[in-house]
Amino acid sequence: MAESIEERLIVKLQELDDRYEDLNQQLSDPKVACDPIQNVAIAKELGKLRRLVSPFREFTKTRASLEEARAISTDAEQDPDMRELADEEIPELQRDYDLRMDKLKESVVTSDDASIDSVIVEIRAGTGGEEAALFVRDLYEMYLRYCERRRFKVEVIDQSIADMGGLKEITLNVKGESVYTHLGYESGGHRVQRVPETESQGRTHTSAVTVAVLPEPEEVDIEINWEKDTEEFVSRAGGPGGQNVNKVSSAIKLAHIETGITVSMRDEKSQHKNRAKARRIMMARLYDHFQGAIDRERSAARKSMIGSGDRSQRIRTYNFPQNRCTDHRINLDLYSLEKIMQGELDALIGGLQTYDKEQRLKNL
């Protein structure tokens, strides 16, 4: 007989509990105590496990109490008053059991994502010329309003302005508690259907924008030897910005030798600031690259339920003439596009979160 989701979940959580105890034992080892790098890594893993282990231990107490009450209730040799008392306790214990189990299910499938409090968001114009660039700006403003409502902190790392006031591309850093569980679903192709400002005959045009949301790793998550693993190219930054931009070699391009991933940064007048920003983006892209390979090995279905996050995959259409926003991954149509563009994304993101949790539970 196949195990139920709850049975598989309890087995998994018990394994995590055992791992938690093992890590605590390692911390008491003098050799580990003298190794700051290992210490930090263990402390970080303990912090992530604690989110699951603490509620699991409370759940096991509730489960034990429920099993004891049921045993007393069905034991004919027990005192009748004890059996009656157990009968009265069972419904309340069952409700507590169910509530704790539901919370554990949600915590297990979202734990990794919930621990990510900083992301790099890259929005780029695709097909559609100036209209696509204008929609990059619109998406940026949409996310900005959503983040303000969520009290996430937004920093513009780099941007390239188009001729008509749009944005060819913009790179953001967004920080906030469990921010990846909210913005992580935005990676992919965003299609817009509307009448452009430059269209004199009122025809609807279709343009495309790509979005990538990359977890920003901590130093312990990924190690890069900047001298050996990457090549750095320095050049003068072109475009507006005064004499300093054109005379000083401040633009930085980094190329990761193993993967071929490149990052260019010219937003700041300072070479040092551009280098620091380029390294942050490089780390995020490399983390996403290597983590994606791990996810594919672990489970081909892990990301399929909400899309691979590949920029070439169309995930959403914004149809302005119909005031409609469609998320193609969950076949959700919302006829409130005006509100969505004002940052009211809760219905969209909530639908994706719910569907994602259901699919991940099936794949436990």
Tally of CB atoms within 10 A around 55: 15
Domain-located, residue 29:
yes
- Strands across the sheet with 251-256, in order? 230-235, 251-256, 262-265
Residues 256/246, Cβ–Cβ less than 8 Å: no
Look at residue 51 in the predicted model and tell me its pLDDT: 86
Domain-located, residue 108:
yes
Closest by CA to 240, choosing from 275, 264, 266, is 266
The amino acid that residue 143 corresponds to is Y
Angle at 179 between CA 127 and CA 307, to 5 degrees: 45
Look at residue 216 in the predicted model and tell me its pLDDT: 83
Q: How far is CA 76 from the centre of its chain?
A: 54
Non-local (6+) Cβ contacts of 225 within 8 A are none
Query: How many distinct structural domains can be found in the chain?
Result: 1
Domain-located, residue 60:
yes
Q: For residue 35, give its domain range.
A: 5-114
Domain-located, residue 79:
yes
Domain-located, residue 40:
yes
Q: Residue count of the chain, please give it.
A: 364
- Given its phi and psi angles, is residue 331 left (phi above 0), alpha (psi -120 to 50 degrees) or beta? left
For residues 274 and 289, give the distance between their C-alpha atoms in angstroms, rounded to a whole number: 22
Q: What end-to-end distance do the CA atoms of the chain give, in Å?
A: 17
Domain-located, residue 16:
yes
Residues 283/222, Cβ–Cβ less than 8 Å: yes
Domain-located, residue 282:
no
User: In the chain, what's the furthest Cα-to-Cα distance?
Assistant: 94
Q: Locate tokens 């005031």: which residue?
A: 323
> What are the structure tokens assigned to 137, written together?
């700006």
Sign of CA dihedral 41, 221, 359, 185: positive
Domain-located, residue 307:
no
Taking the chain (364 residues) in runs of 10, the rounded mean pLDDT of each run is 77 92 89 81 86 93 95 89 92 95 86 85 91 95 97 93 90 93 93 83 88 78 83 72 53 90 84 89 86 55 45 85 95 96 96 88 75
Residues 334/319, Cβ–Cβ less than 8 Å: no
Q: Locate tokens 């965003």: which residue?
A: 190
Helix axes 346-362, 80-114, angle to 10 degrees: 110
